[in-house]
Structure 1
Amino acid sequence: MRIGVVCPYSLGTPGGVQNHVRDLAEALLSAGHEVSVLAPVDDFDAIPPYVVSSGRAVGVPYNGSVARVTFGPRTAARVKSWLADGDFDVVHVHEPTTPSASIIALWSAGGPFVATFHTWQVRSRAMSAAAGLLRPALEKIDARIAVSENARSMMVQHVGGEAVVIPNGLYTDRFKGSPRREWQGADGTISILGRMDEPRKGLGVLMNAVPALVAARPRVKVLVAGAGQADEARRMLPADCRDNVLFLGAVDDESRADMLVGSDLYVAPHLGGESFGIVLLEAMAAGTPVLASDLPAFRQVLSGGTLGELFEPGNVDDLTARALRLLDAPKERDQLRAAGLAAVPRYDWSVLLPELLAVYELVSRGGRGSSPAAPYGRRSAARRRADR
């Protein structure tokens, strides 16, 4: 098949949607399909050959983050040209309500279109206000996908219709790294991965827990990986704790796997705004026990706490107590490690790609999948039962 994929966010900025789009493109290419990805681009020297630029991105605050998107007449012209040149069997747009290339693609052609909804919030005023304006474009979507039940419920509330739940995927075999001696703590190693300049990722919560962690385990090591400036986080630490925290900056795939494999505990102290939890799956794929904020998305990925420990979001004392208890309980960590390794294969691209291809093939034949009666509308119900 000839497949066009539209990402609304800059591929040069780390993020769950961007990572998903890149992995999806690689999976489709490996399966022998022709793939072109349209996305905003900041660094033209670093883009893969299958990416076409929709223009340079600008930062727009959204959902506790800064989304780097592109829009305007020049972007519209590039989108139309890409669609005409591609002659695609199906176009897969991500985050179609975002003011960027995805919604422009829906405005610019007749389809067939598949759309994936990634975002979750309790209520989105922006989405509610824009629903009427966007409806003519959204009605062109032949099949809707949500990455989680939370994202699906938000889509139903604000957009209407139905969607199949196909979660974000990962290549599980890419997380078989090797521990690095210089990253190991004699009293345990804790890791966190996320953008340091986004408060909702909760780095400050973990930094506030460090003094108590160090008091109980003086040689504990905390590894912090992710893009952004570490100065503010470092200033939060008392002087006698700073040697216990190692800021790694942005890491490549190999370093990320090495960090996770060498950790006794992965902490996800996010404060909200998460629709899924791909970082939890990455830790599980590496065999690392997970301690995460009790957010709806994280609770779903961790099966209510059976695949990882949950703590009250933003509660430093709760995080500290649970982290110290797990570090003192190697048998419990082994149980979490085994449970995570057993659960994570169902999120591998080898499992998810056939589900996506079934959607593509349906819409390319002229079928529509936005109603509950569609074949994968029933598949969504089956997946929901399996996830419980």
Structure 2
Amino acid sequence: MHIAVFTDYYLPTLGGVQTSIKAQKDTLEAAGHRVTVFCPLHEPSGDLTVVQLPTSKVIKPDNYPYTWPPKRAKRFAQNYMDSIEPVDVVHVHSEMAAAAAGVHVARSRGLPLVQTMHGRVDVYTQCVLPFPAATSVLLSWLYNRNNPVRPVTLRDAPYTRTALARRMWRLMVNQANYADHVIVPSHHFAHKLQYQGVNKPLTVLSNGLESTLLSQLRAIKPREYTGGDTEFRIMWCGRVSQEKRPIDFLRAIRQLPENVVVNMYGSGPAMKSVRRYITRHRLSGRVTLHGPVPQQTVLTAMQEHHLFASTSYDFDNQPMVLLEAHAAGTPVLLCDPDLTEVVPPEGTVLTATPDSQSIAAAVRELMAHPARVREMSDYLLKSCDSTLQQPLTEQLLGVYESVLQPSA
């Protein structure tokens, strides 16, 4: 089978969408299938299976490459498809210009279309992009101009209250309904999409990790914490932006004893605010900022921490970094109850509420019972095979086969 993947995000830029697509690509290829990825890139790819779509030299939202202009991207993709082995399925992983090229190619060639909905475009626009209200109008206009938009009547919900949110939810629902089959990595996001009008066949299919990554983690021992004044190490990793709530995390650290030390990995639009907060509250002796790092560095760092803190709330779908923490045997602190489906409850601590006081209270409670750290870590290590991509790829192939034989 030959799968054409269209995505607005791919390696070498860092992020969960990128690593999940790469894991799917690698396992599909290992199973004998062919995958061609079409995406924007800052530089041309040296990999013949990764094709650079026309990319803007000016538009770089959050420093990511951006497919531009859309009409040229569609023409380029059409012409390129004529030069490669016939494609069986088009799989789109995003909602912007690269995605529009994928939808166009699928529809014009009569190819089945699968769409993975990775996350909340509404929250991303609000918290990450500059001038979000104006940006949402521009994105909505560009989307409507480059896609066959259908009317969407949204239902009232806490997450559709603002005009910005409604614009982006109409975009997401339209994008999902173009497809012959929709894939969503989590049940909580799938429920929201269906509640707002997604009416195509939908499969909840978890993201997964490459087997080569897990093989590197097989010899890891459970984390040990002896309590008392012993150093307690917490890791935070993600996009440093408002929706990930890094400042709330740092407010919690201020409330904890001096033996709690923190390493933060990632970059983003809130980086200056984070640095200012650390300086203003004299946390530089306890909090270290590492910036963006490769996946392997993240996995190595996880093995050196007692706790991984995920402080986002009402945003994340299924963060890859939580699967990585699971595989590394690092206990996880969660603020969002929706994310409890990602990591087993035996390996997580869920805060009572998402505020900094509850984060600090949850950490203090764990530190007061040091044996729990080993118990949680041990459980995660013993169950890490559940994070593997390979069995999930078999389910993915089942989705592909269903759209290739819709009457079966």
TM-score, length basis structure 1: 0.80
Provide Cα deviations, 1:247-287, integer angstroms capped at 9, x if missing partner. 11112233211110110111011133111232222111101
C-alpha separation between the residues in 2 aligned to 1:130 and 1:252? 31
**Residue 292 of structure 1, aligned match among 334, 341, 366:** 334
Provide Cα deviations, 1:6-59, integer angstroms capped at 9, x if missing partner. 1123544322222211221122222222211011112336x6442101122534
The match for 2:51 is 52
> Is 2:4 aligned against 1:18?
no
C-alpha separation between the residues in 2 aligned to 1:67 and 1:295? 30
With over 3 angstroms needed to count, the CA separation of the structure-2 counterparts of 1:222 and 1:130, relative to structure 1, is closer
The match for 1:102 is 99
**Residue 226 of structure 1, aligned match among 266, 282, 294:** 266
C-alpha separation between the residues in 2 aligned to 1:347 and 1:10? 21
Provide Cα deviations, 1:217-247, integer angstroms capped at 9, x if missing partner. x233201111347443122125643111111
**Residue 294 of structure 2, aligned match among 252, 258, 261:** 252
Superposed, 1:205-284 pairs within 5 Å as 205-213=248-256, 216=257, 218-228=258-268, 230-237=271-278, 238=280, 240-284=282-326
C-alpha separation between the residues in 1 aligned to 2:64 and 2:307? 30
SS in 2 for 1:158: coil
- Report the alpha carbon displacement of residue 130 of structure 1 after superposing the two structures with TM: 4.4
> Is 2:205 aligned against 1:162?
no
Q: Which one-letter code corresponds to 2:251 in the other structure?
A: N
SS in 2 for 1:115: strand
C-alpha separation between the residues in 1 aligned to 2:193 and 2:312? 22
With over 3 angstroms needed to count, the CA separation of the structure-2 counterparts of 1:252 and 1:322, relative to structure 1, is same
With over 3 angstroms needed to count, the CA separation of the structure-2 counterparts of 1:131 and 1:332, relative to structure 1, is closer
> Is 2:379 aligned against 1:339?
yes
Number of matched residues?
347
The match for 2:141 is none
C-alpha separation between the residues in 2 aligned to 1:199 and 1:307? 26
C-alpha separation between the residues in 2 aligned to 1:186 and 1:90? 54
**Residue 126 of structure 1, aligned match among 167, 187, 198:** 167
Q: Give the ranges of 4+ consecutive aligned residues of structure 1 lying more than 6 Å apart after TM superposition.
A: none
TM-score, length basis structure 2: 0.76
SS in 1 for 2:180: strand
Q: Which one-letter code corresponds to 1:117 in the other structure?
A: M
Structure 1 gaps, min length 5: 180-184, 369-373, 375-388
Superposed, 1:78-117 pairs within 5 Å as 78-86=76-84, 87-95=86-94, 98-108=95-105, 109=108, 110-117=110-117
Q: Which one-letter code corresponds to 2:391 in the other structure?
A: V
C-alpha separation between the residues in 2 aligned to 1:282 and 1:114? 26
Q: Which one-letter code corresponds to 1:251 in the other structure?
A: V
> Is 2:233 aligned against 1:189?
yes
C-alpha separation between the residues in 2 aligned to 1:8 and 1:348? 24
Provide Cα deviations, 1:175-228, integer angstroms capped at 9, x if missing partner. 62889xxxxx951111010122x1111211111122222xx2x23320111134
1:269–1:313 CA contact under 8 A, matched in 2: no
The match for 1:70 is 67
C-alpha separation between the residues in 1 aligned to 2:274 and 2:66? 27
Q: Which one-letter code corresponds to 2:232 in the other structure?
A: G
- Report the alpha carbon displacement of residue 90 of structure 1 after superposing the two structures with TM: 1.5
Structure 2 gaps, min length 5: 123-158, 222-228
Provide Cα deviations, 1:332-376, integer angstroms capped at 9, x if missing partner. 122222332344422311221111112223333x326xxxxx8xx
2:177–2:200 CA contact under 8 A, matched in 1: no
C-alpha separation between the residues in 2 aligned to 1:11 and 1:53? 11
Q: Which one-letter code corresponds to 1:144 in the other structure?
A: V
Indicate the larger mover: 110-119 or 256-265: 110-119
2:263–2:290 CA contact under 8 A, matched in 1: yes
> Is 2:395 aligned against 1:355?
yes
RMSD: 2.9
Percent identity, aligned pairs only, is 25
- Report the alpha carbon displacement of residue 68 of structure 1 after superposing the two structures with TM: 5.4
2:74–2:100 CA contact under 8 A, matched in 1: no
1:6–1:37 CA contact under 8 A, matched in 2: yes
With over 3 angstroms needed to count, the CA separation of the structure-2 counterparts of 1:131 and 1:307, relative to structure 1, is closer
Q: Which one-letter code corresponds to 1:17 in the other structure?
A: V
1:186–1:219 CA contact under 8 A, matched in 2: yes
1:128–1:158 CA contact under 8 A, matched in 2: no
C-alpha separation between the residues in 2 aligned to 1:362 and 1:271? 35
